[in-house]
């Protein structure tokens, strides 16, 4: 079955693209370019009077072998849309976005682009489709899309367009947003098929951030994830009737861990005609049952297939700064490793905003010049103002990634040249809020250990060998220098006026930076530029649901659906 859609972009269903050009037909040496679009598009039935609601279909073209030398295509190309197959089924026009070079003549649409295709691909056009007046639910047709250009071969695809279909709408949860670590809340996930046709098989995709865990795991769900999130994908075969509402026979138990702070739980439902019986695994089988529907307003927006729920745990995290103590004669260099450790118990992640969790503010001791720095550290004047030159600054601001895990060591190696020996010269290392005017860390109740000392040539100690690179043992820093402890994070180092990209050893989380009481919600320039290191993983900030599009989730085996039903009126809450 096809589902109703108000916005179907080309990237969503690339796996459904039907390729029509056989490999043997490709000219030797020519790039083979792929025209992509959604394989199936569902339209809301025509209301009879007034304007029908439309679906937006994005069409792209890209070079699947973009890694080859040159990549893309430097030449004019044309993409043709054969619309004859949807006459009487759908009305089609080009949208206003990205379609200025497109026209429709009769039942043929044509888009011509004289600027070629970049290695990463390009948008061809957006089609606006709506059900034709007089069309009946179930009416279907196809749009054939092909491309041509001198010096290139194009694959093509077929977009199947159908009037009507299922529309699965996930209901929001009514859980407590403010929680204590260790608390368990039960999530009775419920969805309605608000469309005009039954859905054959459904899939639930559940995602928890690092501070949440499932109290039970089920045989017909597949669990995957990284340190910052866990995803459960559960398939349910069977028929899910139009107008009916379904809920889990057993609610999902969500437990806030001892390290919980700002957390997100996402839950999404989609039709999966390939839902299948799972081989028996550990745990009981998760099932669905029909339930009495609650009144609701008509809403066929497929964005309602998913919901997100934010939680805020009453918890703290102790960020403890550490410095270093080093000695060298004039002309020598030393490597100072400074930073902070998260003593927990909470992890801290700005999953919503994507902002850094904190900033490490480093002031350089007198008599020394920074000749190498982490790539994530920005040069500043002594008062915190902008400075262009990356090296030799008196002060550096080093932003963390958007997440800092419990027990993480955020280490920052600096290379210092001793220009003149100043006995007992001191700088400071402070972990603070990102805004200089608001340095307090709201989650850290002990500000006293947010600052440590960076000491060069402490009084009463001998000097190091002249001209060498000498690293002293840190008095308050890590046991080893030049990097973090296991699970720690560091940036790349800039030396001699050049920059190496920094990185982290930790994964990413989905979102954060949300304000307390969160609710439900669907470098320097010039000279040698610095490139901040970033945490890996959730590129997309703002949502745990978005990473579903970033990579394929393992298919899950399905359990039998246990159904007990109460009918509901379609299109109503």
Residue 332: pLDDT over 80: yes
Measure the CA–CA gap between 237 and 240, rounded to whole angstroms.
9
Domain residue ranges of the chain, discontinuous segments joined by +? 7-163, 168-314+546-550, 318-504
Residue 212: pLDDT over 90: yes
Looking at residue 29, what is its pLDDT?
65
pLDDT digits (tens, 9 = 90+) for 494-540: 444 333 333 333 333 333 333 333 444 443 333 333 333 333 333 33
Residue 75: pLDDT over 90: no
Partnered with residue 34 across adjacent β-strands are 62, 155
Listing from the earlier edge strand, what are the strands of the sheet with 262-271? Answer: 178-179, 306-313, 262-271, 199-209, 229-240, 221-226
Looking at residue 294, what is its pLDDT?
44
pLDDT confidence tier of residue 569, bands split at 50, 70 and 90? very low
- Which range (108-112, 308-312, 490-494, 537-541) has the least confidence? 537-541
Specify the residue for token string 């010049």.
369
pLDDT confidence tier of residue 98, bands split at 50, 70 and 90? low
- Residue 192 φ/ψ, nearest 5 degrees: -125, 140
pLDDT digits (tens, 9 = 90+) for 222-262: 999 999 999 999 999 999 999 999 999 999 999 999 999 99
- Residue 469 φ/ψ, nearest 5 degrees: -100, 110
Residue 572: pLDDT over 50: no
Higher pLDDT, 160 or 497: 160
- Which range (28-32, 36-40, 60-64, 93-97) has the least confidence? 28-32
Looking at residue 134, what is its pLDDT?
94
Looking at residue 333, what is its pLDDT?
96
Looking at residue 259, what is its pLDDT?
98
* Domain 318-504, CATH: 2.60.40.10
Q: What is the mean pLDDT of residues 152-160?
A: 91
Helix (H) and strand (E) counts for the chain? 0, 40
pLDDT confidence tier of residue 28, bands split at 50, 70 and 90? low
pTM here is 0.67
pLDDT digits (tens, 9 = 90+) for 275-304: 444 444 466 778 887 775 544 333 345 567
Higher pLDDT, 53 or 185: 185
pLDDT winner (highest mean) among 45-59, 65-79, 343-357 = 343-357
**Are 362 and 477 spatial neighbours (Cβ–Cβ below 8 Å)?**
no
pLDDT confidence tier of residue 15, bands split at 50, 70 and 90? very low
Tell me, what DSSP letter sits at residue 171? P
- Please list, residue by residue across 321-336, b when 16 or more beta carbons sit within 10 angstroms of its beta carbon and e when fewer do: bbbbbbbbbeebbbbb
In CATH, the architecture of 7-163 is: Sandwich (2.60)
71 conformational bin, left if phi > 0, alpha if psi -120 to 50, beta if neither: left
Looking at residue 67, what is its pLDDT?
55
Higher pLDDT, 316 or 64: 316
Looking at residue 491, what is its pLDDT?
47
Query: What percentage of the chain reaches a pLDDT higher than 70?
Result: 70
* Domain 168-314+546-550, CATH: 2.60.40.1510
Higher pLDDT, 140 or 64: 140
Specify the residue for token string 């866990």.
230
Instruction: Cis check for the bond before 2: say yes or no (omega within 30 of 0).
Output: no
Q: What is the mean pLDDT of residues 108-117?
A: 89
Partnered with residue 495 across adjacent β-strands are 372, 498
Whole-number mean pLDDT of the chain?
Answer: 78
pLDDT digits (tens, 9 = 90+) for 264-274: 999 999 988 65
Nearest C-alpha neighbor of 6 from the set 47, 53, 58, 51: 53
Nearest C-alpha neighbor of 435 from the set 523, 361, 329, 493: 361
Do domains 168-314+546-550 and 318-504 share one topology? The answer is yes
Strand 40-43 relative to strand 157-163, pairing: parallel
């Amino acid at each position: 079955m096809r589902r109703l859609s108000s916005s179907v972009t080309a990237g969503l269903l690339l796996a459904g693209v039907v390729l029509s050009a056989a490999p043997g037909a490709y000219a030797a040496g020519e790039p083979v370019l792929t025209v992509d679009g959604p394989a199936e598009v569902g339209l809301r039935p025509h209301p009879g009077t007034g304007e029908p609601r439309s679906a937006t279909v994005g069409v792209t073209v890209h070079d699947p072998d973009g890694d080859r030398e040159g990549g893309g295509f430097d030449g004019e190309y044309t993409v043709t849309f054969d619309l004859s197959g949807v006459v009487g089924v759908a009305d089609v026009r080009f949208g206003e976005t990205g379609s200025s070079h497109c026209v429709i003549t009769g039942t043929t649409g044509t888009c011509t682009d004289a600027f070629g295709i970049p290695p990463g691909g390009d948008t061809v056009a957006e089609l606006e489709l709506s059900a034709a007046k007089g069309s009946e639910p179930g009416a279907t047709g196809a749009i054939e899309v092909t491309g041509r250009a001198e010096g290139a071969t194009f694959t093509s695809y077929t977009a199947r367009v159908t009037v009507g279909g299922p529309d699965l709408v996930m209901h929001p949860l009514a859980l407590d947003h403010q929680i204590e670590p260790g608390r368990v809340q039960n999530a009775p996930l419920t969805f309605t098929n608000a469309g005009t046709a039954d859905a054959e098989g459904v899939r639930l995709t559940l995602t928890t951030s690092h501070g949440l865990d499932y109290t039970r795991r089920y045989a017909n769900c597949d669990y995957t994830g990284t340190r910052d999130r866990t995803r459960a994908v559960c398939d349910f075969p069977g028929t899910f009737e139009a107008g009916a509402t379904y809920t889990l026979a057993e609610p999902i138990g969500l437990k806030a861990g001892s390290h919980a702070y700002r957390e997100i739980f996402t839950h999404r439902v989609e039709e999966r005609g390939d839902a299948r019986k799972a081989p028996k695994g550990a745990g009981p089988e998760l099932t669905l049952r029909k339930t009495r529907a609650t009144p609701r307003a008509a809403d066929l927006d497929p964005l309602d297939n998913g919901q997100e729920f934010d939680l805020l745990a009453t918890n703290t995290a102790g960020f403890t700064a550490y410095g270093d103590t080093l000695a060298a004669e004039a002309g020598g260099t030393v490597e100072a490793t400074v930073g902070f450790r998260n003593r927990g118990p909470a992890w801290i992640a700005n999953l919503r905003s994507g902002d850094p969790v904190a900033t490490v503010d480093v002031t350089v001791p007198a008599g020394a010049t920074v000749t190498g720095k982490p790539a994530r550290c920005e040069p500043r004047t002594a008062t915190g103002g902008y400075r262009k030159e990356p090296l030799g600054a008196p002060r550096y601001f080093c932003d963390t990634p958007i997440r800092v895990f419990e027990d993480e060591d955020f280490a920052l190696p600096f290379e210092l040249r001793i220009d003149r020996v100043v006995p007992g010269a001191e700088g400071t290392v402070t972990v603070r809020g990102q805004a200089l005017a608001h340095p307090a860390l709201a989650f850290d109740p002990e500000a006293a250990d947010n600052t440590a000392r960076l000491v060069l040539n402490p009084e009463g100690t001998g000097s190091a060998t002249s001209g060498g690179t000498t690293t002293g043992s840190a008095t308050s820093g890590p046991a080893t220098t030049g990097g973090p402890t296991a699970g720690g994070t560091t940036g790349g180092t800039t030396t001699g006026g050049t920059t190496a990209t920094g990185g982290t050893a930790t994964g990413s989380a989905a979102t954060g930076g949300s304000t307390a009481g969160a609710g439900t919600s669907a470098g320097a320039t010039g000279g040698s530029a610095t490139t901040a290191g970033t945490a890996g993983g959730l590129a997309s900030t703002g949502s745990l649901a978005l990473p579903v599009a970033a990579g394929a989730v393992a298919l899950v085996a399905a359990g039998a659906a246990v159904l007990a039903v109460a009918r509901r009126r379609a299109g109503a809450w």
